[in-house]
């Protein structure tokens, strides 16, 4: 082989190497860019109406009490966990609910799911569960998950005096956070298993998980790889996450929500590919084949204070929270009375 042939071969190898390098670089950049939202034209968050001012104040009071006054709420800080449980149960009681507890042992301590029941009229055997966990992961937990507990309480307040055809369970779950997440010590796992044993007919569940953090800053919303191509660039909306078994529930909830409010809402049907889509109590219902959705501000894909000491009451947007809860209240009533 002469020198000219060797040089040509070396040139071909070099060009192929450069080609593969740039292909790899392009794919890496595309992967990175796809974790940001590409929709730059999504409408800004809706402004809360004057009628929601009272709701906004009530949501803020709940969050402040749970996060800034009580603080870290877990079996590892048992007195604060119990203080949170007492506060939640007292709020349900003050609305007129009879409160039940599901008590079980974790780490040598008795922990409690807190249940308030709105009995249905014509279809009392059909149960809708609305839930949120009240424990935290070694931090004040304003967004995660005092915001959702506040929403749970105000949804319960909204329908206490309104007749519903189906029964609604409002449940504050314990032990959602690590190290109990997706174990038998998880409060929602315990609840679902015992509901099955009692042959309760849960037709679907709506789980509230972090509903308080919103921002209009550009590039403030992140996603798992490739999802950003389809979704907004700004973290100014509420999201509904379902699985394949919950796709009809997801579609119905989003459709009903849009009829009630112009607050931005997005949805995703999870097929097991994306991180974080099963990171809450809806997972426990999915495991038993029960349709369930997570209502969320997208957690660590948006909120920079997730699982830190900076997750405090002053970081949340209560005007937007009120819009979300108000919309969900109307949705819940429609679905509890749907023929």
pLDDT tens per residue, range 92-105: 999 999 999 999 99
* E strand segments, 5-160: 99-106, 109-118, 123-133
Tell me, what's the pLDDT at 13?
Answer: 63
pTM score above 0.85: yes
Pairing of strands 265-270, 166-173: unpaired
134: domain CATH number? 3.40.630.10
Write down the residue that tokens 């409010």 correspond to: 261
Give the C-alpha separation, 208 to 181, whole Å. 16
Strand, helix or coil at 32?
A: helix
Domain count, the chain: 1
Residue 329 in domain = yes
Region 59-78 average pLDDT? 98
pLDDT at 48 over 60: no
> Quick one: tokens of 304?
């920079």
How many helices and strands (H and E) does the chain possess? 8, 8
Residue 22 in domain = no
Residue 1 in domain = no
pLDDT at 158 over 90: yes
| Side-chain half-sphere exposure of 297, counting CA atoms within 13 A | 33
Residue 24 in domain = no
Identify the H or E element spanning 239: strand 238-243
Residue 17 in domain = no
pLDDT tens per residue, range 274-312: 989 999 999 999 999 999 999 999 999 999 999 999 999
Instruction: Give the domain range for residue 111.
Output: 34-337
Using an 8 Å Cβ cutoff, are 42 and 233 in contact?
yes
Q: List 292's β-bridge partners, or say none.
A: 205
pLDDT at 74 over 50: yes
Write down the residue that tokens 């997730």 correspond to: 306
Residue 28 in domain = no
């Amino acid at each position: 082989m002469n020198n000219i042939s060797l040089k040509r071969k070396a040139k071909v190898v070099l060009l192929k190497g450069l080609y593969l390098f740039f292909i790899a670089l392009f794919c890496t950049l595309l992967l990175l860019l796809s974790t940001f939202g590409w929709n730059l034209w999504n409408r800004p968050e809706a402004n809360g109406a004057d009628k929601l001012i009272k709701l906004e104040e009530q949501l803020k009071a709940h969050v402040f009490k749970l996060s800034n006054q009580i603080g870290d709420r877990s079996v590892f800080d048992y007195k604060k966990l119990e203080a949170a449980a007492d506060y939640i149960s007292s709020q349900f009681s003050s609305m007129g609910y009879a409160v039940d507890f599901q008590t079980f042992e974790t780490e040598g301590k008795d922990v409690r799911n807190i249940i308030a029941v709105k009995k249905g009229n014509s279809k009392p055997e059909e149960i809708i569960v609305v839930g949120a966990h009240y424990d935290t992961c070694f931090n004040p937990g304003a967004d995660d998950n005092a915001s959702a507990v506040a929403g749970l309480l105000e949804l319960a307040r909204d329908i206490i005096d309104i007749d519903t055809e189906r029964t609604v369970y409002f449940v504050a779950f314990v032990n959602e956070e690590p190290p109990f997440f997706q174990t038998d010590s998880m409060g929602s796992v315990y609840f679902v298993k015992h509901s099955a044993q009692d042959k309760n007919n849960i037709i679907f569940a709506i789980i509230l998980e972090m509903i308080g953090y919103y921002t209009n800053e550009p590039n403030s919303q992140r996603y798992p790889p490739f999802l950003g191509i389809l979704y907004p660039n700004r973290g100014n909306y509420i999201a509904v996450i379902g699985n394949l078994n919950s796709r009809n529930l997801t579609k119905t909830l989003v459709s009903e929500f849009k009829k009630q409010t112009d607050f931005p809402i997005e949805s995703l049907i999870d097929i097991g590919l994306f991180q974080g889509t099963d990171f809450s109590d809806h997972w426990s219902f999915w495991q038993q084949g029960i349709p369930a959705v997570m209502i969320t501000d997208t957690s660590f894909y948006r909120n920079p204070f997730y699982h830190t000491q900076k997750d405090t009451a002053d970081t949340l947007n209560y005007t937007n929270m009120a819009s979300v809860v108000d919309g969900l209240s109307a949705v819940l009533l429609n679905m509890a009375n749907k023929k």
